[in-house]
Amino acid sequence: MTRLFATTAASPPGTLRLLVTRLAPSAPRAAPALSHGGQALPVAVKRPWTPLRGAVPPGTKLTPGWSTLLEVPAPAPTARLRVALDADAVEVHAKAVPAALPAAGDSFNVLLVSCYHRDEDRGVAAAARDLAREDPVHLVLHLGDQVYLDLPTTEQLPKDPVALADALEAKYRDTFLPDDAASAQLRSLGPNVALPDDHEYWNNAPHVSYFLENTWRAADRARWWRLGHDLFTGYQGLAEGEGGLPMAHLQLDVEPLSFFFANTRSHRQADRSACLSPPTLSALTAWAQGLRARRHFGVLVTGQSLLDPKADALEGRVADYALPNYGDFPQMASAIDEVVRSAADVLLLTGDVHWGRVARLSPSSDVRGAASLYEVICSPAALCTTLGADTLKQLAAAVSGSADPWPRHAHAPVLERLVRLDGTKTPWWTETLHRQRGDMLCLLRFSRRGDGVEVRPRFAPVGHPRVDDVAPFTLRRR
């Protein structure tokens, strides 16, 4: 039995990219054929067929799988493509990423998703459809933790390499491949970009997690780390990586916006000297320096927040290290600091923390308060259970008779009035503009506003038929 799947990936203007996955007993011998309206399209192979987990070892109990990344000229901004391979075929409703924001009055709409635990989904697909019904989605950003390979916490994962690979890949298949899976439905809404965070590996990867025996030995961590790379590339590899590793960074321009996606997880060093690959740090610096000349507004997308406080020794070992714990963070922050001070406002997008927030920061040296750094956090889509703590929270809510629909979810903290970021010239004044609690998605509507860009966040609480609109803010040039 064979099966074929296809997901639209974000791609350069005038093109469409597809991540095509095939489950079959043997490897495909040719690239799929793509057509539109019965007309064949020329196919460029951006990544050849690759086993979904890097190799197909003898003894696996799963049907082998492969994926390939393809690019074709876009026959139209929105097109129904037919993907065919041997006797299998699937149709994909593909959208091209626009080259620029629409004229005044219309918007470019970006859906934010992070931290999705399939076993605790309370209606993510329905919430996404409700948002898309009112505002068509032009880009879907998966900000990390699209799958939880290390849950449930009490699970005893096998030590045998093949059995471990089977167990981890089964979680990917359960999350991504069923036609009715929320992940599949989210990806059908528009072109996609995906970043990994720790649960695409394990909590606090690449460091030891004291709750997971499979991370206690260096050899076991190395094996799982490699599997995490391969599985992410196989199932979420919506852009090219290098050296067998997931995508390190990606730049995507929608004039006058310029998105920079930085993979801050897959290239982390165990000694915490860096969270980015050296080429990514160089590319980020060059991107930031070029924003002024190109008159672009920068949107930096990461798996963790740049505003997270540095984790102390205990928190870092037990929970997760934050970006400021890594040696290259000051260079990251310095690049953004320079843009905000001299060129234009910057927007940060992230997930990870299991609460939502919109915040504005301005350099304390800016007496006019004209320069702004904004951040939007959207997390989680489906909250994973924290063993022990969540049970106590639910018990307390039941005993008190609380009607709180989110007893396990934390409230977003209000930023301290003055924060310091390593690598920036001065501290920053902060203003917390909005806090969101519960399972959520967020749609950002970008529209032209004079010489700037207005950003209107809309949070959709999962399982609740409403949308929480946040007051818009405007990105401005100096």
Tens digit of each residue's pLDDT (9 = 90 or more) over 340-387 = 999 999 999 999 999 999 999 999 998 777 899 999 999 999 999 887
Span 406-416, mean pLDDT?
96
> Helices (H), strands (E): how many in the chain?
8, 23
Instruction: Band the pLDDT of 431: cuts 50, 70, 90.
Output: very high
Is residue 250 scored above 60 in pLDDT? yes
| Phi, psi (rounded to 5 degrees) for 410 | -80, 155
Instruction: Band the pLDDT of 402: cuts 50, 70, 90.
Output: confident
Instruction: Band the pLDDT of 1: cuts 50, 70, 90.
Output: low
Tens digit of each residue's pLDDT (9 = 90 or more) over 24-64 = 988 899 999 999 999 999 999 999 999 999 888 788 999 99
- Give ∠ CA 470-475-478 in degrees, rounded to 5: 150
Instruction: Please give the CATH number for the structural domain made up of 1-96.
Output: 2.60.40
Span 139-151, mean pLDDT?
98
Cα-based distances in Å from 220 to 75, 183, 213, 320, 346 = 47, 29, 9, 19, 40
The better pLDDT of the pair 318, 452 is held by 452
Instruction: Band the pLDDT of 401: cuts 50, 70, 90.
Output: confident
Question: What is the percent of the chain where pLDDT is above 70?
Answer: 100
Tens digit of each residue's pLDDT (9 = 90 or more) over 189-226 = 999 999 999 999 999 999 999 889 999 999 999 999 99
Architecture of domain 97-475: 4-Layer Sandwich (3.60)
The domain limits of the chain are: 1-96, 97-475
- When mean pLDDT is compared across 17-21, 270-274, 298-302, 391-395, the lowest value belongs to 391-395
